[in-house]
Amino acid sequence: MDYILSVEKLSRVYKSGSRELTVLNDINFDIQQQETVSIVGPSGSGKTTLLGLCAGLDSPTRGTVSLMGQQINGLSEDERALLRNKHIGFIFQNFQLIPTLTAIENVMIPLELQGSKQAKSKAKGLLDRVGLKDRMTHYPNQLSGGEQQRVSIARAFCNDPSILFADEPTGNLDEDTGLSIEQFLFDLNAERGTTLIIVTHDLELANKTNRIIKLKGGKVVADEKSLIQAQV
Amino acid sequence: MANLSFLFKTAIRDSRKDLNKLFMFMSSIILGIAALVAINSFNYNLVKDIDSQAASLLGADLAITGNKPLGEKLTPVLDSLQAETAEELEIFSMAYIAKTDASQFVMIKAMEGGFPFYGKIKTDPEQAYLDYQDKPHALVDHSLMLEHDLQVGDSIKLGIRSFYISGRLKSAFGSIAASTSFAPGIYIGKPFIEETKLIQPGSMVNYAYYYKLSDPTSAEQWKDDHRESFRNESLRIQTVEGQKENLDEAFSSLNNFLNLIALVSLLLGCIGVASSVLIYIKNKVPSIAVFRCLGMKSGQAFSIYLIQILGLGIVSVLIGATIGSLIQIYLPVILKDFLPYEVVMDLSWKAILEGVLVGLVMTMLFALAPLVSIRNISPLRTLRTSDDEVTKRDYLKLSIYGLIIVGIFLFLLRLTSEISSAAIFTIGLLAAFLVLYLVSLFIMWAVKRFFPSSWSFVFRQGLANLYRPNNQTQTLLVSIGLGTAILTTLFIIQGLILTNVDSMDAGNQPNMVLYGIEKNQADRLTTITEDYDMPVIQQAPIVTMRVAGWKGKTKEEWLSDTTRVARRWAINREARVSYRDYLESDEKLLRGEFVGEVNPGDSIFISLDEGYAESLSVDLGDEIVWNVQGTLITTFVSSIREIEFRSMRTRFFILFPKGVLENAPQFLVFITKSPDSETTAKYRSAVVKAFPNISVVDLGMILSTLNDILTKVSYIVKFMAGFSILTGLIVLISSLLLSKFQRIKESVLLRTIGASRMQILKINATEYALLGGLAAATGILISLVASYFLSTRQFELEFDLNPLPILFIFLFVTGLTVFIGLLNSREVIQKSPLEVLRKEM
Ligand SMILES: Nc1ncnc2c1ncn2[C@@H]1O[C@H](COP(=O)(O)OP(=O)(O)OP(=O)(O)O)[C@@H](O)[C@H]1O
Ligand SMILES: [Mg+2]
């Protein structure tokens, strides 16, 4: 079976002074193409840490992460950057738009990095898709939180990623705005077949995904089909 | 390829909104380079200026002098020179003044040609000097005319020819004139000297041939090539270089100082660059993390900001060079009415090119140091702002630090042209940096360790800001501290130089020398001098003697010795020796022991001037035998002195102790100062009337030239230092203004939570007062050490400190820091927190 993401015996230990803090302890799971997965768990359980490792932003203390069949532990930072640029999209709780670039410029970055000629038209299309046609040349601080998050969704889908990581994408937004953001995420997932991995506290959101991985104290305590999936 | 254009595009896009944050970066470079270019060209112009000043002391590039005319052998040699020429015949004679029926001993100079080529002959009426050579006209010394109540239009008889007095001679040219004239001068055209019939076989005539070379720089070489053949004909070659040596001490200080200012401007610019780029990059960290997250390679992220910095850097360097050039062109025009002298400023391409090159390399190196850390920014920062990034040893960064040190060293080497000086300076700068860095670490540690937890909230906040994550303690302490140190050093050195220039004040120098006084005339002469309310500044006995041999060989043996290193002039010269039992205030004992008095029959210990000892190739303990008008006296060198060029006193290279020469044939030299030319004239005739054998030499003309030069020196010192201090202040101010972005979020948060305006102000004031005070104090301490070494080693000035300005500097820097710190929080206080957060995000 080909998995888009495989995590094997993954551990992450932080050293602060002489004390060691094991944040993730022997994590294992595999995720298939086009799956939507949510990672839930109490605060401090290691969700963000796990996401960072899976996306190749951080290096594990032990164990391996494989993305699209390629082990990423052995890769250099720049090789992982290339991988991220080609195959991965990101959405953050605090949006992480570049304040000095306009909305459309923010969206274009991943494609421009690849040297693509269609960056502009594609970015326009995506911003249109998330309903920000008229705000393209606005700077992030001229946009509301929900608008900023829509820009970052457009940016995340711009390079047609195989897998998209979102760390509490609706955490900073009110319920209605949060819902519309979720809608965009799932619609785009359906349209493009992107694998979705969402870290969230929001159980309703979690229940909209196919699969829920529960973390507690750095360990996977449950890994099950979600309610919707179970019903099907 | 597409990639490169993307990097450029992003670099430009990203800088659009942040140009204000790069303003300080640009202004540091602009000011630093402008100063560098302006100072460099000032320096070049000054060197040129001083060259021409020295030339005006001689009046020509080259002068041949002697007491016979150029022979057939040498005339062709000189004819081959590419030069404008002039000739002078000098003869001493009596002049008859019909108006008062008086005779006066005068020096007649018969001139032909446009001498002086440099400098001006000042006459009254002004145009009198233009045509005196063509007619039977005479220019007559001002004081002589006063003495005999002569007016322009009267006549004076020289030999058998009467001359129409067409002008009053205010200042003459040429040191040759001034230094040999102990009689008032009269200038006539050379063709008319024949008609006076004064030149008879056997009469003493001095000849001088002056040359203005088409390539003045070749004079020295020419002199070296021809010295020997001219000496064989008993003719002397004089060049500007030789004249300049006299003034060298004053100018080497000035030159050193201008170099110091160039260094200071460059360093200030670099400090500005380094701290602004550092702060800029700190602000960019979140954006860079996002770029990395989206798949940008570390090298690409680095390139984006490199492009930005490089682009703006080049633009700034060019703007700076332009401003520097404009300054050198227009400043003299603007300041024309305020300047005590006329400045001719030429655009110096060499200075501009040098400024651009040095500026570009140095500022880019300083910018690169903080820039390369971009490569290590982890994309993980998008998920978590962690500070504890594992700081690997970054070899690229270390090699940039290495290059910076090498760069500074090379720059210093170019300035000082001495490896040891350059090394000491470089090490000193590193040490200053290190001290400030350590102080900042110590402060952070100490505040944390001894935190006054009982203090009020605002003070605790202000203090805690010093060590909290994201603090600016190190950046500001180092940049303000270094800035203060450099500026204070400059300030102190400037003061010392100005004091020194003042002490050389030509206006207060003795301006009359009396030679040929017999011992028994001294008392009467003193009385006459005091009758005119003039001081006896120096009165020294002079015994003339010649070297008969040294270090066991006779002079003749030495002269035929091919391995001899002693210089011919030192061997052959008729030495004018004095004796006394003390050292003058302008003499410094370098080595050995000064012996003031010896008993009859004891060994005789003498003291030599350093340069003279070197020229004769003798040192402490060596034996020298003197021929004192027929008697041989054996002496031993017991001390070596340095005689400072500070005053117009007669300098004695060779000094005997008391108890040896008292009965040798001798005469006295007398030095005094006359308040004005009228007194000079009256005093001179009184002295000559009483003692016809005494020669009175008026140094007034040389002194007025010297005075001109010194006025320029002190003006340039003040102006350039002022310029550099301005640069430093602007760098300090902008580095503080930039720190605004550091604290703004915190202040807004505090405001949001409910802190009052006053509380915010107090928190910031506490932080900035501590930072400013500490940085200023450390900087000033460093500057004290630095200026002590600079003044004693490099400038050879006496270190002397006025504590009041130093205290002022401390208060000023601290006050400025607090003021700008508070200015930074102005926005937080006046606007709504939301507005501020949105704007500064
Ligand atoms: N750099 C670090 N050094 C030390 N400990 C760390 C570091 N980063 C994270 N931790 C610790 O790791 C644990 C997991 O952090 P993580 O951010 O993954 O939790 P989380 O599940 O995302 O929590 P939340 O739901 O609140 O976002 C926390 O206890 C945190 O303190
Ligand atoms: Mg988290």
Chain segment B398-435, per-residue pLDDT in tens = 999 999 999 989 988 887 778 888 898 889 889 988 99
Using the predicted structure, report yes or no on whether residue A196 has a pLDDT greater than 90. Answer: yes
On whether any CB of chain B is under 8 Å from the CB of A13, the answer is no
Q: At what angle do helices B757-789 and B803-824 cross, to 10 degrees?
A: 150
Instruction: Specify the range with the lowest mean pLDDT, choosing from A125-139, B71-85, B276-290.
Output: B71-85
Percent of chain B scoring above 70 in pLDDT: 83
pLDDT score, position A197: 94
Nearest residue (CA) to ligand 1, atom 3: A14
Q: How many A from CA of B454 to the centre of ligand 1? A: 33
- Which numbered ligand comes closest to the C-alpha of A50? 1
Contact A57 B382 (CB under 8 A): yes
pLDDT band at A5 (very low <50, low <70, confident <90, very high): very high
Q: Which of B425-428's residues contact partners 24+ apart within 8 Å by CB, and which partners?
A: B425/B263, B428/B786, B428/B789
- In the predicted model, what is the mean pLDDT of residues A5-23? 89
Distance from CA of A207 to the nearest CA of B (A): 24
Nearest residue (CA) to ligand 1, atom 18: A46
Using the predicted structure, report yes or no on whether residue A103 has a pLDDT greater than 90. Answer: yes
A94 lines ligand 1 (CB under 6 A): no
- Which numbered ligand comes closest to the C-alpha of A43? 1
Task: Between B227 and B504, name the one with better pLDDT.
Answer: B227
Q: How far is the CA of B547 from the CAs of B235, B350, B638, in angstroms?
A: 22, 49, 17
Contact A100 B13 (CB under 8 A): yes
Q: What is the ipTM of this complex?
A: 0.84
Q: Which of A10, A13, A38, A49 to mutate to test the pocket of ligand 1 (most atoms within 8 A of CB)?
A: A49
Contact B383 A88 (CB under 8 A): no
On whether any CB of chain A is under 8 Å from the CB of B330, the answer is no
Predicted TM-score (pTM) of the model is 0.68
Instruction: Specify the range with the lowest mean pLDDT, choosing from A152-166, B560-574, B721-735.
Output: B721-735
Chain segment A24-72, per-residue pLDDT in tens = 999 999 999 889 999 999 998 999 889 989 988 888 999 999 998 889 8
On whether any CB of chain B is under 8 Å from the CB of A223, the answer is no
pLDDT score, position A231: 47
Residue A46: what are its φ and ψ, rounded to 5°?
110, 15
pLDDT band at B841 (very low <50, low <70, confident <90, very high): very low
User: Which among B17, B296, B388 has the least Cβ separation from residue A81?
Assistant: B296
Would you call B602 helix, strand, or coil by DSSP?
coil
- Least CA distance to A155: which residue of chain B? B294
Distance from CA of A85 to the nearest CA of B (A): 4
pLDDT score, position A38: 94
Distance from CA of B279 to the nearest CA of A (A): 16
Cβ neighbours, 10 Å, residue A44: 13
Please check whether residue B540 is in contact with residue B668, taking contact to mean a CB–CB distance below 8 angstroms.
Answer: yes
Residue B284 identity (one-letter amino acid):
K
Return d(Cα B381, Cα B389) in angstroms, integer: 10
- Least CA distance to A142: which residue of chain B? B838
pLDDT score, position A229: 53
Instruction: Specify the range with the lowest mean pLDDT, choosing from A159-168, B264-273, B734-743.
Output: B734-743
pLDDT band at B511 (very low <50, low <70, confident <90, very high): confident
Instruction: Specify the range with the lowest mean pLDDT, choosing from A192-196, B249-253, B301-305, B732-736.
Output: B249-253
Size of interface A-B (CB pairs under 8 A): 97
Instruction: Specify the range with the lowest mean pLDDT, choosing from A174-183, B256-265, B343-352, B383-392.
Output: B383-392
On whether any CB of chain A is under 8 Å from the CB of B14, the answer is yes
Render A45-104 in DSSP notation, one character per residue.
SSHHHHHHHHTTSS--SEEEEEETTEE-TTS-HHHHHHHHHHHEEEE-TT----TTS-HH
Give burial (CB, 10 Å; 0-12/13-18/19+) of B30. Answer: buried
- Least CA distance to A53: which residue of chain B? B380
Contact B2 A115 (CB under 8 A): yes
Instruction: Specify the range with the lowest mean pLDDT, choosing from B389-393, B436-440, B816-820.
Output: B389-393
pLDDT band at B456 (very low <50, low <70, confident <90, very high): confident
A42 lines ligand 1 (CB under 6 A): no
Would you call A190 helix, strand, or coil by DSSP?
helix
Contact B300 A52 (CB under 8 A): no
Return d(Cα B621, Cα B606) in angstroms, integer: 10
On whether any CB of chain A is under 8 Å from the CB of B390, the answer is no
pLDDT score, position B742: 64
- In the predicted model, what is the mean pLDDT of residues B226-234? 76
- Which numbered ligand comes closest to the C-alpha of A52? 1
pLDDT score, position B630: 84
Mean pLDDT of chain B: 80
- In the predicted model, what is the mean pLDDT of residues B227-250? 69
pLDDT score, position A40: 94
Contact B378 A167 (CB under 8 A): no
Task: Between B414 and A9, name the one with better pLDDT.
Answer: A9
pLDDT score, position A12: 92
Task: Between B248 and B670, name the one with better pLDDT.
Answer: B670
Render B358-377 in DSSP notation, one character per residue.
HHHHHHHHHHHHHHGGGGG-
Highest mean predicted confidence (pLDDT) among B167-176, B431-440, B480-489, B718-727: B431-440
Best CA proximity match to B472, nearest among B134, B119, B821: B821
On whether any CB of chain B is under 8 Å from the CB of A51, the answer is yes
Q: CA-based Rg of chain A, rounded to a whole angstrom?
A: 18
pLDDT score, position B402: 92
- Least CA distance to B17: which residue of chain A? A100
On whether any CB of chain A is under 8 Å from the CB of B382, the answer is yes
On whether any CB of chain A is under 8 Å from the CB of B239, the answer is no
Using the predicted structure, report yes or no on whether residue B607 has a pLDDT greater than 90. Answer: yes
pLDDT score, position B713: 62
- In the predicted model, what is the mean pLDDT of residues B599-611? 88
pLDDT band at B64 (very low <50, low <70, confident <90, very high): confident
- In the predicted model, what is the mean pLDDT of residues A19-27? 91
pLDDT band at B251 (very low <50, low <70, confident <90, very high): low
- In the predicted model, what is the mean pLDDT of residues A205-212? 91
On whether any CB of chain B is under 8 Å from the CB of A138, the answer is no
Contact B297 A82 (CB under 8 A): yes
Task: Between B41 and A180, name the one with better pLDDT.
Answer: A180
Would you call B21 helix, strand, or coil by DSSP?
coil
pLDDT score, position B454: 77
- Which numbered ligand comes closest to the C-alpha of A202? 1
Percent of chain B scoring above 90 in pLDDT: 10
pLDDT score, position B458: 78
Point out which residues pair with A161 in neighbouring strands. none
Chain segment B543-562, per-residue pLDDT in tens = 888 888 888 888 888 888 88
Measured in residues, chain A has a length of 232
pLDDT score, position B1: 46
Task: Between A151 and B105, name the one with better pLDDT.
Answer: A151
Nearest residue (CA) to ligand 1, atom 4: A14
pLDDT score, position B836: 58
Render B759-803 in DSSP notation, one character per residue.
HHHHHHHHHHHHHHHHHHHHHHHHHHHHHHHIIIIIS-------H
Structure tokens at B702: 């040389």
Chosen from B293, B376, B382, B386 to mutate, greatest number of chain A CBs within 10 A: B293
Please check whether residue B550 is in contact with residue B622, taking contact to mean a CB–CB distance below 8 angstroms.
Answer: yes
- In the predicted model, what is the mean pLDDT of residues A91-114? 87
Domains of chain A, first to last: 34-61+76-231 (3.40.50.300)
Using the predicted structure, report yes or no on whether residue A23 has a pLDDT greater than 50. Answer: yes
Using the predicted structure, report yes or no on whether residue B387 has a pLDDT greater than 50. Answer: no
On whether any CB of chain B is under 8 Å from the CB of A46, the answer is no
Instruction: Specify the range with the lowest mean pLDDT, choosing from A35-39, B121-125, B294-298, B779-783.
Output: B121-125
pLDDT score, position B640: 92
Q: Please enumerate in sequence order all residues whose Cβ is within 8 A of that of B126, keeping only pairs 6 or more positions apart, or say none.
A: none
Contact A141 B3 (CB under 8 A): no
